[in-house]
Amino acid sequence: MKRLFALLATFATVLGLTAAFGPQAAAATGCKVEYTVAGQWQGGFQAGVRITNLGAPVSGWTLRFTMPDAGQKVAQGWNATWSQSGSAVTAVGVDWNRTLATGGVADLGFSGTFTGANPKPTAFTLNGVTCDGSVDEPTPDPDAGTPVEVNGQLHVCGVNLCNQYDRPVQLRGMSTHGIQWFEQCYDATSLDALANDWKSDLLRISMYVQEDGYETDPAGFTNRVNALVDMAEARGMYALIDFHTLTPGDPNHNLDRAKTFFASVAARNAGKKNVIYEITNEPNGVSWQAVKNYAEQVIPVVRAADPDGVVIVGTRGWSSLGVSDGSDENEVVNNPVAATNIMYAFHFYAASHKDSYRSTLSRAASRLPLFVTEFGTVSATGGGAMDVASTTAWLDLLDQLKISYANWTYSDAPESSAAFRPGTCGGGDYSSSGVLTESGALLKNRISTPDSFPTS
């Protein structure tokens, strides 16, 4: 029978959890244990043990700890199979609590006897991991596989982007410039470098709709986007298809074009695991309600062909959650898009957008699933000096919140936001210090650090 007892005196200690996972990667481990003495009398006592899993889900666990006094003995326990040998106590999970999801709790306890003092147990371990007071992130495995191999089909869970194991993940990558202008930057050599040298998780494919883009050749641009999706897939990267609307700022101006484009690319790529859909880039000069109305007409078109793909919706004020228009995240929180498996875009340029924008993102991240589909290290014009301090503050915040991002731009455009010096594209070097701008060097350094994708 399951039994719970009132907790009178509590102390907490953090445990490490380990479990058997797939061969690709280890998972984050961590657990909190609360031990309480619910009652004590002459020669006897009753104790409760609460385990909270802070790491990856586990199936099957064994708790061990040490009785400090030789006279302390477990007499009878519940909600686990209990045993004791000398001062060493073992509790093994039973049918109804042997599986612990992330955040899952198992309450167990025992009645015991003592002859001297009755100090609290020490040396807790769970599944053989000694308590160390922290949650351990996995050591990245360079042979774990590509981002798509490890994470599979992505989906939204709560406010997070999650992988096939229902674990939150952060994707880090680069955005193309307009593919109508910089097609020479996106060949096999440059994408090999992005995947293998930069260790990028994703490629954002920016297909402008106006400005000599999609509206001039719908079939041709659709084919080019699909080709880049295939090239990203072949290299194990996610492909973020960006319907790059900028001028005019009302996405409804392109509603029919969006329906035609997304019906085509969703049908063609529905069987792939690496595709994410960004249905409007930077709405501006338009209300959130107008953006929401657009999204609620385009998303069903995507879903009709690809019911599983994550969809990202741009937000008001150049995808600033309304901040650049004097609003904030509450307009989205209070009037969300009527659809599931969606995220909201947030854009920033580090030299122009600082503390007030970071504060908005921090607040919104606990209420909305966010994806930074575009950001720059410079001013909002795409030019000027790189703001190292602000860029670092932004990237540290995104890492802390596990918010995915794509940097503008993986190109040799004649602007300081570009990753490469002019004249780089079309050559054979996309990684050395000789071709990288200051912005490119900083981003390559950040993106190429090993991922720690959780698995189970």
CATH architecture of 10-130: Sandwich (2.60)
Reply yes or no on whether the pLDDT at 418 is more than 90.
yes
List the one residue out of 129, 89, 133 whose CA is nearest residue 109: 89
Lowest mean pLDDT among 132-146, 171-185, 231-245, 297-311: 132-146
The dotted CATH code for 147-447 is 3.20.20.80
Reply yes or no on whether the pLDDT at 28 is more than 70.
no
pLDDT of residue 11: 32
Q: What is the pLDDT of residues 230-242, one digit of tens each?
A: 999 999 999 999 9
pLDDT of residue 27: 53
pTM: 0.72
Q: What is the pLDDT of residues 173-191, one digit of tens each?
A: 999 999 999 999 999 999 9
Reply yes or no on whether the pLDDT at 292 is more than 60.
yes
Q: Which residues of 372-395 are buried (b: 16+ CB within 10 A; e: fewer)?
A: bbbbbbbbbebbbebbeebbeebb
The CA distance from 144 to 162, in Å, is: 18
Reply yes or no on whether the pLDDT at 248 is more than 90.
yes
Torsion angle of the four alpha carbons 124, 125, 131, 136, in this order, in degrees rounded to the nearest 10:
-150
Mean pLDDT of the chain: 89
Is residue 283 within 8 A of residue 250, CB to CB? The reply is yes
Reply yes or no on whether the pLDDT at 10 is more than 70.
no
pLDDT of residue 455: 85
Task: Pick the more confident residue, 422 or 141.
Answer: 422
pLDDT of residue 64: 84
Strand locations in 209-335 (E): 238-244, 275-278, 310-313
pLDDT of residue 66: 85
Mean pLDDT within 306-331: 97
The CA distance from 260 to 265, in Å, is: 9
Sequence ranges of the domains in the chain? 10-130, 147-447
List active site positions.
282, 374
What pLDDT band is residue 134 in, cutting at 50, 70 and 90?
Answer: low
Report residue 292 as tokens: 């929401």
What is the β-pairing status of strands 310-313 and 342-349? Answer: parallel
Q: What is the DSSP letter of 151?
A: H
